[in-house]
Amino acid sequence: MARRLNRIWVRFGLWIAGTVLSTIALLSFCAWAFSSVQYYQFYKTLPDEVRVELDELNANDLEDSPRAMQIYGQYWRGDTLFGEQMSLLIGLIVCLPFGLTVGFWVSRYVTRPLASIVEVAKRVEQGDFSARAVATGAHGEMGEVVHTFNNMIDSLDELEAERRATAASISHELRTPLTVLKARLHAVCDGVIVADEAEFRALLAQAEHLGRLVDDLHTLSIAEAGQLSLKKQRLCLCALLGEALSHLQPQLQQAGMELELTLPVDEAESDIRADPDRMRQIIANLVSNAMRHAVQGRWLGVDVQSLIDENGEAWVQLGISDAGPGLPQELRNHPFQRFAMAPGKRKREGSGLGLSIVRALTESQGGTVRSIPSPRGGTRFILRFPRA
Q: Could you tell me if 184 and 278 lie in one domain?
A: no
CATH number of the CATH domain containing 263 = 3.30.565.10
Amino acid sitting at position 133? A
Which of 138, 170, 203 is the last residue in one of the domains? Answer: 138
Q: Could you tell me if 8 and 127 lie in one domain?
A: yes
CA–CA gap between residue 270 and residue 282 (Å, rounded): 16
Number of domains in the chain: 3
Residue 145 lies in a domain: no
Residue 143 lies in a domain: no
Q: Could you tell me if 191 and 290 lie in one domain?
A: no
Q: Could you tell me if 195 and 280 lie in one domain?
A: no
- pLDDT at position 82: 57
Cβ atoms of 346 and 333 closer than 8 Å: no
- pLDDT at position 268: 86
Better pLDDT: 8 or 202: 202
CATH number of the CATH domain containing 186 = 1.10.287.130
Q: Could you tell me if 163 and 271 lie in one domain?
A: no
Q: Could you tell me if 199 and 260 lie in one domain?
A: no
Residue 121 lies in a domain: yes
Q: Could you tell me if 353 and 262 lie in one domain?
A: yes
Residue 151 lies in a domain: no
Q: Could you tell me if 253 and 360 lie in one domain?
A: yes
Residue 90 in this model has a pLDDT that exceeds 70: no
Better pLDDT: 351 or 289: 289
Q: Note the pLDDT tens digit of each residue in 34-88.
A: 778 777 777 888 888 878 887 887 788 877 788 878 877 777 766 655 556 666 6
- Band (353; pLDDT cuts 50, 70, 90): confident
Which of 89, 108, 138 is the last residue in one of the domains? Answer: 138
Residue 148 lies in a domain: no
Q: Could you tell me if 62 and 86 lie in one domain?
A: yes
Q: Could you tell me if 241 and 380 lie in one domain?
A: yes
Residue 343: domain span: 233-386
Amino acid sitting at position 92? L
Q: Note the pLDDT tens digit of each residue in 211-233.
A: 877 887 788 788 877 777 888 99
Residue 150 lies in a domain: no
Residue 381 lies in a domain: yes
SS3 letters for the chain? CHHHHCCHHHHHHHHHHHHHHHHHHHHHHHHHHHHHHHHHHHHHHCCHHHHHHHHHHHHCCCCCCHHHHHHHHHHCCCCHHHHHHHHHHHHHHHHHHHHHHHHHHHHHHHHHHHHHHHHHHHHHHCCCCCCCCCCCCCCHHHHHHHHHHHHHHHHHHHHHHHHHHHHHHHHHHHHHHHHHHHHHHHHHHHCCCCCCHHHHHHHHHHHHHHHHHHHHHHHHHHHHCCCCCCCCEEEEHHHHHHHHHHHHHHHHHHHCCEEEEECCCCHHHHEEEECHHHHHHHHHHHHHHHHHHCHHHCEEEEEEEEEECCCCCEEEEEEEEECCCCCCHHHCCCCCCCCCCCCCCCCCCCCCCHHHHHHHHHHHCCCEEEEEECCCCCEEEEEEEEEC
Residue 161 lies in a domain: yes
Q: Could you tell me if 376 and 244 lie in one domain?
A: yes
Predicted TM-score of the model (pTM): 0.59
Q: Could you tell me if 371 and 342 lie in one domain?
A: yes
Average per-residue pLDDT in the chain?
A: 82
Pseudo-torsion of CA 199, 200, 201, 207, nearest 10°? 120
- pLDDT at position 4: 57
Residue 80 makes CB contacts below 8 A (sequence gap 6+) with none
